[in-house]
Amino acid sequence: MVKSAILLIYTGGTIGMKKDPVTQTLRPFDFSGILDEVPELQKFALKVDAYNFDPPIDSSDVEPSRWVELARLIESRYDQYDGFVVLHGTDTMAYSASALSYIFDGLSKPVVFTGSQLPIGVARTDGKENLISSVEIAAAKDSDGRAIVPEVSIYFGSKLMRGNRTTKYDSECFEAFASPNCPPLADAGINIRYASKEILQPSGHPFSVHPSLDTRVSILKIHPGITPGIVRNILLGEETRAVILETFGAGNAPSRGWFIDCVRQAVASGKILVNVTQCPAGRVDMDIYETGKQLKEAGVFCGYDSTTENMLAKLFHLLGVSDDREWIGRMIQTPLRGDITV
Ligand code: ASP
């Protein structure tokens, strides 16, 4: 029988960090020795190869160019491996997993992101369990030999989540990620239980990589006391093509004249405005309150139950592939990768 093959890709992050004896801060180390560090991986009937990004980075330094590099790497090895495990810092993992979900089209193999809160060399590390379960998930196939989870996901703290539904919500505990508006794709206890109904099936398109991303997007978090000057700078900024409005509750923003005028002006000048809630869970519904309705009438698109991380990545992708405002608006409000519930 041919063994399944998994490619482990180390991009950086705590999972592969060591304490610098001089500064006492965590710094990335050479990950090529990962199989010695986690000998348990050799117990699977799998071929596990490792690839190291050089230099590995703290994920706070991640840039869209790194996402494209990662996508190109997976594309170049796509036929050689049954699944991919991406080791990544937790700080921006939700952004990277969201971005990869759009950069790939026609994905039919698992791409599982994971990392850890404690370095893998530390006795109480959460990295080993995260890594071992991610490898098992990336290799899992059904009785017809098809990948069980053929999408971009994040495995962390015993749960497998759709990547573009996650957010890092705890900077300390081992369950660092939440997927507040989408149930887990799998739960790992004694067995790994897959929630088959929740898992996206391949679109049937041939696998391809869409590397063009337009990053001229900003995020405006609405708050009491926000000033006209600040709102104007962000919504009408010359460089900006799109703005994510992180609004209150179900999608509400101040109803004052200057605010809504500024929104109208931005829309009239061709900018794309999207409403997502700043609540950690729940959705935008711009028909409930007058303050939300005003935004809808001004031409703001609804982000439904999207995370901010997902909407940012989705806009980078949509703006990268089109200039057609109407089409982009329609796609924002369409679940392209299981990213929103409309
Ligand atoms: N600062 C680290 C990073 O995101 C934290 C982590 O790995 O969890 O790269």
Q: What is the pLDDT of residues 222-232, one digit of tens each?
A: 999 999 999 99
Q: Of ligand 1's atoms, which has the minimum distance to the CA of residue 59? A: 9
Question: Which residue has the CA at smallest separation from atom 8 of ligand 1?
Answer: 90
Ligand 1, residue 15: give the atom nearest the CA.
7
198 Cβ inside 6 Å of ligand 1: no
Ligand 1 centroid vs 42 CA: distance in angstroms? Answer: 26
| pLDDT for the residue numbered 19 | 73
Atom 3 (ligand 1): residue with closest C-alpha?
A: 89
Determine the Cα–Cα distance for residues 41 and 156; give it in Å rounded to an integer.
17
For residue 176, give the ligand 1 atom closest to its CA.
8
Dist CA 131 CA 6 (whole Å)? 12
Name which of 28, 32, 30, 24 is nearest 12 in CA terms: 28
Phi, psi of 309 (to 5 degrees): -60, -45
Atom of ligand 1 nearest to the CA of 93: 4
Q: d(Cα 322, Cα 229) in Å, to the nearest integer?
A: 30
Ligand 1 mean position to 299 CA, how many Å?
A: 38
Catalytic sites, residue numbers? 14
3-state secondary structure the chain: CCCEEEEEEECCCHHHEEECCCCCCEEECCHHHHHHHCHHHHHCCEEEEEEECCCCCCHHHCCHHHHHHHHHHHHHHCCCCCEEEEECCCCCHHHHHHHHHHHEECCCCCEEEECCCCCCCCCCCCHHHHHHHHHHHHHCECCCCCECCCCEEEEECCEEEEHHHCEECCCCCCCCEECCCCCCCEEECCCEEECHHHCCCCCCCCCEECCCCCCCEEEEECCCCCCHHHHHHHHCCCCCCEEEEEEECCCECCCCHHHHHHHHHHHHCCCEEEEEECCCCCCCCCCCCHHHHHHHHCCCEECCCCCHHHHHHHHHHHHHHCCCHHHHHHHHCCCCCCCCCC
Neighbouring CB atoms inside 10 A of 58's CB total: 16
What atom of ligand 1 comes closest to residue 116's alpha carbon?
8
pLDDT of amino acid 106 = 98
Tell me, using a 6 A CB cutoff, whether residue 130 lines ligand 1: no
How high is the pLDDT of residue 2?
Answer: 63
Residue of 18, 53, 60 with the most ligand 1 atoms within 8 Å of its CB, for mutation:
60
Please give the distance, rounded to the nearest whole angstrom, from the Cα atom of residue 28 to the centre of ligand 1.
10
Ligand 1 neighbourhood includes 13 CB (under 6 angstroms): yes
Strands 186-188 and 46-52: unpaired
Rg (CA), the chain: 21
Q: Which of 17, 58, 66, 95 to mutate to test the pocket of ligand 1 (most atoms within 8 A of CB)?
A: 58
> How far, in Å, from the CA of 159 to the mean position of ligand 1?
19
In whole angstroms, give the CA distance from residue 204 to residue 55. Answer: 35
C-beta of 58 in contact with ligand 1 (< 6 A): yes
pLDDT at 242: 98
157 lines ligand 1 (CB under 6 A): no
Q: Is 89 in the pocket of ligand 1 (CB under 6 A)?
A: yes
CB 285 near ligand 1, within 6 Å: no
User: Which residue positions in the chain have pLDDT lower than 50?
Assistant: none
Is the C-beta atom of 90 inside 6 A of ligand 1?
Answer: yes
pLDDT at 1: 54
What is the whole-number distance in angstroms between the Cα of residue 61 and the centre of ligand 1? Answer: 10
